[in-house]
Structure 1
Amino acid sequence: MGWIPCSGNSNTKKKIKKKMKNMKVEDNLSDQIKQAPGTGKSKTSDGSKNGNPDHIAAQTFTFRELATATRNFRTESLLGEGGFGRVHKGRLESTNQVVAIKQLDRNGLQGNREFLVEVLMLSLLHHPNLVNLIGYCADGDQRLLVYEYMPLGSLEDHLHDISPGKKRLDWNTRMKIAAGAARGLEYLHDKANPPVIYRDLKCSNILLGEGYHPKLSDFGLAKLGPVGENTHVSTRVMGTYGYCAPEYAMTGQLTLKSDVYSFGIVLLEIITGRKAIDNSKAAGEQNLVAWARPLFKDRRKFSQMADPMLQGQYPSRGLYQALAVAAMCVQEQANMRPVIADVVTALTYLASQKYDPNAETVQSSRLAPPTPPRTKRGQ
């Protein structure tokens, strides 16, 4: 789905633009808007400059239109609820398009700043593995975001909050989701200019379309990354407990490697079926990384880390390699973590190696368990 040019209530657009200019926040949002990816000195296909920070490539809606789309936000249309507010399924009367409509909770954890950042980021960034923003509503004190509808819900729905009768994710699907999510992150880090730090990567923010195609969503906490000789961005610590990189949690210094750490947590969840933080587990197993680190040191225990719901239906070599990638991503020292492009390369390869349980059974009866290649000393 392509971007929809600005249209709708001009007064609404004036209000949101004025709000952007007048907002006084610690991160100086107006400066970020001027430097945002896709603005500045770049030109459109017709040669004209598109560096106007007031330009928002998303449709505007009135509150009445979105209330009609959701039948007054009735309970039957509710898809979920998060820090931002409630998300409802709706159908736009003007286009008959099915959409997801997120309504800002005025008493919630996130506010106008996050709303504005999300509108800006998703209007300026476009990739097959990022959710499409169709438009927004800023009528009076109402703040709503309108997205494409993702029919399979979130990755969390399929890993942790599994409803009765729902199909469990097989190995091939898990690797496909991991590779796609990594490609979305790679776009933010390597293709956007300046780079964007996502800052809120977690299973509930990875939405799934037809065929389990993953897309990153919820960009309210996103930050423009360091440019030039700067090595990090200093900011207040935000995000979700269990996913924050240790150096960011301790110092507030945010880098692209902070996102890589969060991705490592998500990859571990995909492989193990465990939550980043699970207080229902025994004391030493509540934190996923703390539980996994000792097991990373002994390859004979790798099979203990596979999600029991896989019922042994996974390739041994693929499990070893996926765990190796996760282990590198969650290293405590940020400079020891890989760049996301290398993670994409590894996971794209793993996703291409389709696992066939029947072929694996025949093969394993003739061959010894495969071992990952070892790097020679000095290399």
Structure 2
Amino acid sequence: MGWFLCSGKSRKKTKKEQEKNSDDQIPSNIEKLKVNPSFDVKKEGSKDGGSGHIAAHTFTFRELATATKNFRADCLLGEGGFGRVYKGRLESTNQIVAIKQLDRNGLQGNREFLVEVLMLSLLHHPNLVNLIGYCADGDQRLLVYEYMPLGSLEDHLHDLPPDKKRLDWNTRMKIAAGAAKGLEYLHDKANPPVIYRDLKCSNILLDEGYHPKLSDFGLAKLGPVGDKTHVSTRVMGTYGYCAPEYAMTGQLTLKSDVYSFGVVLLEIITGRKAIDNSRSAGEHNLVAWARPLFKDRRKFSQMADPVLQGQYPSRGLYQALAVAAMCVQEQPNMRPLIADVVTALTYLASQKYDPETQPAQRPSSGSSTPRMRR
């Protein structure tokens, strides 16, 4: 849930610098939220959003404290850079919800809070998490979402306890295709297009049946319109997922999200983390490790998550890796449109692998070298 500067640099900024650097997040009138704790989200949103209809419900802090039993520790679902997330039950509707309480001293300020409220109130898709409401009482900032019972994709890929069920190939492709559809909605259906800017495994939440939904829209940015090719903004996101050209120049495009999606797809296929400093030298960065292997099809089986134990279709593995390789191309214009990624992954998700009737693949030793032809 947290984020860092993509460059990985950390320098303490003055309060004035922080305010200036975050001004590009959303329209300037949202400055009022920072200086006015009783700021009306619905009223202010109407000045920027045309119709101005904000469907999200407003909650009092007391209602949400009651829902979480005063934010009791046993209701805590997780914690990140933005604050803590609690499981709660709304007294008025008896609905189970997830409540994110923003850290008042944390990195996510009022601008990002309002971005999330506006984005999720105006954008609706089966692969985007549903925002039920928010609380802006005094200096309290809380967001209320539908509860996603299976947690995040990260919970099912990395650092798994021995008793946790491993994701099979079919489920992985279903999650990848669904996440791509959520991104396609933001890029191609939303008007103007929306750049998500923080796509990663921990931001893909899973509903019953492993149905994926994108969450955490505090860093989302409206994409370029007209003859503009990019938007220039402060470099934000999570290290390991940032597109190289965005990390270097601050020029953000839809293809920046496609790169991040490629990293996520690699995580889904390989079971490896985007950045893993516990691995040996040369394997810390997932994309850097994968790029040489993309060039030799005989090494593709080395890239499959070992916990799959060879239970995946070899053709499906090759095709999924080909999609990931295209998404993480260094040159943004070489990356595919997300609509083409959706087409490819929807097809792969429809090709069900049956371990009972299809043989398990043998892992490659990785020691073979290409023979030279005489």
- Which TM class, normalised by the smaller chain length? 0.7 to 0.9
* Structure-2 change in CA distance of 1:147 and 1:278 (3 Å): same
Deviation at 1:126, TM superposition (A): 0.2
Q: Which residue of 1 aligns with 2:210?
A: 212
Q: Which residue of 2 aligns with 1:19?
A: none
TM-score normalised by the chain length of structure 1: 0.83
TM-score normalised by the chain length of structure 2: 0.84
Contact 2:21/2:234 (<8 A) preserved: no
1:147 to 145, 148, 154: 145
Equivalent positions of 1:324-339 (< 5 A) are 324-339=322-337
1:319 to 317, 320, 332: 317
CA distance in 2, matches of 1:175, 1:324: 14
Equivalent positions of 1:140-179 (< 5 A) are 140-179=138-177
2:96 to 70, 95, 98: 98
* Counterpart amino acid of residue 239 in structure 1: G
Deviation at 1:51, TM superposition (A): 1.9
1:51 has 2:50 as partner: yes
Contact 2:25/2:112 (<8 A) preserved: no
User: Secondary structure of 1:89's partner?
Assistant: strand
* Counterpart amino acid of residue 30 in structure 1: P
Q: Which residue of 1 aligns with 2:27?
A: 30
Q: Which residue of 1 aligns with 2:42?
A: none
Q: Which residue of 2 aligns with 1:89?
A: 87
Contact 2:26/2:221 (<8 A) preserved: no
Equivalent positions of 1:231-310 (< 5 A) are 231-310=229-308
CA distance in 2, matches of 1:51, 1:325: 37
1:114 to 99, 112, 115: 112
* Structure-2 change in CA distance of 1:294 and 1:74 (3 Å): same
Over aligned residues, Cα RMSD in angstroms?
Answer: 1.8
User: Secondary structure of 2:107's partner?
Assistant: coil
Q: Which residue of 1 aligns with 2:355?
A: 357
Deviation at 1:360, TM superposition (A): 1.3
CA distance in 2, matches of 1:307, 1:222: 31
CA distance in 1, matches of 2:159, 2:149: 16
CA distance in 2, matches of 1:289, 1:73: 39
Contact 2:311/2:359 (<8 A) preserved: no
Deviation at 1:56, TM superposition (A): 1.9
Task: Provide structure 2 residue ranges, at least 5 long, that are not aligned to the other structure.
Answer: 1-19, 31-48, 362-374
2:227 to 214, 220, 229: 229
* Counterpart amino acid of residue 289 in structure 2: W
CA distance in 2, matches of 1:73, 1:265: 34
User: Secondary structure of 1:147's partner?
Assistant: strand
CA distance in 1, matches of 2:353, 2:179: 20
User: Secondary structure of 1:135's partner?
Assistant: strand
Cα deviation per residue 1:21-67 (whole Å; 9 max; x = unaligned)? xx99522723699xxxxxxxxxxxxxxxx8244x4220000000000
User: Secondary structure of 1:190's partner?
Assistant: helix
Contact 1:179/1:348 (<8 A) preserved: yes
* Counterpart amino acid of residue 162 in structure 1: L
Deviation at 1:245, TM superposition (A): 0.0
CA distance in 1, matches of 2:59, 2:161: 34
* Structure-2 change in CA distance of 1:284 and 1:84 (3 Å): same
Q: Which residue of 2 aligns with 1:188?
A: 186
CA distance in 2, matches of 1:195, 1:356: 39
User: Secondary structure of 1:181's partner?
Assistant: helix
CA distance in 2, matches of 1:204, 1:348: 22
* Structure-2 change in CA distance of 1:28 and 1:123 (3 Å): same
Contact 1:32/1:224 (<8 A) preserved: no
Residue identity (%): 88
User: Secondary structure of 1:123's partner?
Assistant: helix
User: Secondary structure of 1:29's partner?
Assistant: coil
* Counterpart amino acid of residue 56 in structure 2: A
Contact 1:322/1:347 (<8 A) preserved: yes
* Counterpart amino acid of residue 244 in structure 1: C
Structure with the bigger RCO (C-alpha within 8 Å, sep 6+) is: 2
Number of matched residues? 325
CA distance in 2, matches of 1:31, 1:341: 32
Q: Which residue of 2 aligns with 1:36?
A: none
CA distance in 1, matches of 2:94, 2:129: 19
CA distance in 2, matches of 1:229, 1:32: 25
Task: Provide structure 1 residue ranges, at least 5 long, that are not aligned to the other structure.
Answer: 1-22, 34-49, 365-379
Contact 2:89/2:97 (<8 A) preserved: yes
Q: Which residue of 2 aligns with 1:4?
A: none
CA distance in 1, matches of 2:183, 2:131: 17
Greater Cα offset, 169-178 or 353-362 = 353-362
CA distance in 2, matches of 1:345, 1:290: 26
Deviation at 1:85, TM superposition (A): 0.2
Q: Which residue of 2 aligns with 1:375?
A: none
CA distance in 1, matches of 2:179, 2:29: 25
